[in-house]
Amino acid sequence: MFADYRETIEQANQVIDACPDLALPGPRPRPLGPDPSMRQVLAHMIEETGRQAGHADILREQLDGSTGR
């Protein structure tokens, strides 16, 4: 499980490193309208990561009762 996560991080880092300007469009598998900039893509991924981490924290709290304070 962690190996897959680390591999995904490495792939993401390669895509980010290949982008010379964050104002340029980010890569997309298929067009769904105007291409978002790489900056918009990264901001979205940060938001999604935070949301998923919050969900995981809620599940952990339900399992063990600790609140992380």
Distance between CA atoms of 67 and 60, rounded to whole angstroms?
9
38 burial type by CB count under 10 A (0-12 exposed, 13-18 middle, 19+ buried): buried
pLDDT of residue 24: 93
pLDDT, tens digit, 9 for 90 and up, residues 32-64: 788 899 999 999 999 998 888 888 888 888 888
Residue 24 tokens, joined: 């340029």
Look at the pTM and tell me if it is higher than 0.75. Answer: no
Q: Domain count of the chain?
A: 1
In a domain, residue 23? The reply is yes
Question: Residue 47 domain-assigned?
Answer: yes
Q: Residue 60 falls within a domain, yes or no?
A: yes
Task: Please say if the pLDDT value at position 69 is more than 80.
Answer: no
Instruction: Evaluate whether residue 69 is within a structural domain.
Output: no
Amino acid identity, position 55: H
Largest CA distance in the chain: 46
Question: Would 44 be classed as within a structural domain?
Answer: yes
Sign of the four-CA dihedral 11, 25, 42, 21: positive
Domain interval for residue 33: 2-64
